[in-house]
Chains A and B, each alone.
Chain A
Amino acid sequence: MSKAAELAALIGSQTALSNRNLIINGAMQVWQRGTSTDTISNGGYLCDRWRINHSGTDGNVDVDRSTDVPAGKGFGFSQKISMDASESSLDASDQIRVIQRIEGQNLQSLKKGTSSAELVTISFYVKSSVAATYTVNIRDEDNDRDNSKTYTIDSANTWEFKSITFTGDTTGALDNDNGRSFDLNFWIDAGTGFTSGTFYNGTWAAGDNTKKVSATTGWLESTSPEWYITGVQMEIGEQATPFEHRSFADELRRCQRYYFRMTDNTSQSSIMYGRGGGGGTAIVAAAPMPVPLRASPTITTTGAYHASDHNSRTSFTPSSIVASGWHYQSVNLGMYVAASSTITDDDRVCLIGGNGATTLEISAEL
């Protein structure tokens, strides 16, 4: 058999030829929230779908879109994590990690919790200012089960390709729904609160924070620490296949299931349409989403709106906007806009942004 035929047989035997990558935005292409922040909150997102968890750090956690990428691999961006101050000494609860949470209905092919549970391989390109042994953890949120393995960065400040294969877990099926079932965690550093137990080291077991991480990497205590990642792929099977590059449009639409930012522009484009309600205290409105959302979203708004009917315009700043009508198949999102003394009941209005200063953030993150 030729090498090409052997490869084709291998790939065909373990996984699909397309849609192999179970990770969204693995190439760090989509950054709807912005491309740089000096202070990301614990549990915050900047790069789409990639959550940053941290606690106890002396300095602020910075996240940036970087054009520093592994040469010749076809990536345009990486995600850079850095600190604006080093840790004076690592406390037990100190931690920093990069996470992707995944819906259970997207992972039924893992056959988790059955005798046919599949091997899972995670591959990625990584670069760090600190050469050390780092931990990748996978967590079954539905059944409170974890597994972790390590990878070693051999040379500081050098892009390296890593591949880690986890055994299938025959215990605990993932829920077949839109909830958070599975977390992929890239631990950058952690204190003894996450390292003091007997490390999982490739064995699935009940969740225990003290077993999640192999050991501290020294990253948080180092001077001007930086950690970069791109090309993250999670796939069924025991071997990493070449990264599945997807188009920007494809990745954007996948990301928008979880987050979407609507902004007006200087021509005051329409944002929502609706009618007065609640005895003049609200506007019952709707707006089209680019794709159906994962779940009813949290809404954050900034800036003023103009509510325009057929012959007048009223400016107001809503005290809150709450999603009031969501369906998993629909791109229309119903919203309740709290705005006192603005619109008479049942007056039809179009809500228009306040001259470039209005944003509406729709988040259905896991």
Chain B
Amino acid sequence: MIITEAKYVALDGKNIGIRAIINGQTMGVPLDPANAEYAAILEWVAEGNTIQDAD
């Protein structure tokens, strides 16, 4: 997966997911380690990338 952007999505001040651009597509990714895209984002973060804070 090629991740080019990731930003938290928050509801009532609490992060509930990530808006990410993966392979050129915008996706809503849940904070669930069993989710394949979230697992890929965690690897992407481990490589030194950052998930932006929610608006």
Contact = CB atoms under 8 A, between A and B. Distances in A.
A41 B37 CA distance: 14
Give the interface size bracket for A toward B: 20 to 34
A300 B25 CA distance: 8
A336 B11 contact: yes
Contacts of B11: 277-278, 282, 284, 324, 336
Given A44-B23, A298-B27, A322 B18 contact: yes
A295 B34 contact: yes
Contacts of A336: 9, 11, 16-17, 28
B9 A298 contact: no
A42 B22 CA distance: 11
B35 A295 contact: yes
B19 A326 contact: no
A294 B19 CA distance: 21
Interface residues of B, number: 22
B37 A298 contact: yes
B6 to A, nearest CB: 11
B51 to A, nearest CB: 13
Given A278-B11, A299-B27, A300-B25, A322 B34 contact: no
B26 A324 contact: no
A43 B18 CA distance: 20
A323 B12 contact: no
B9 to A, nearest CB: 5
Contacts of A177: 34
Interface in B1-36: 1-2, 9, 11-12, 16-19, 23, 25-30, 32, 34-36
A64 interface: no
Contact of B9 (A296, A320, A363, A365): A320
Top 10 closest A-B pairs, CB basis?
A: A322-B17, A322-B28, A295-B34, A296-B30, A296-B32, A320-B19, A299-B28, A298-B37, A320-B28, A323-B30
Interface of B: 1-2, 9, 11-12, 16-19, 23, 25-30, 32, 34-38
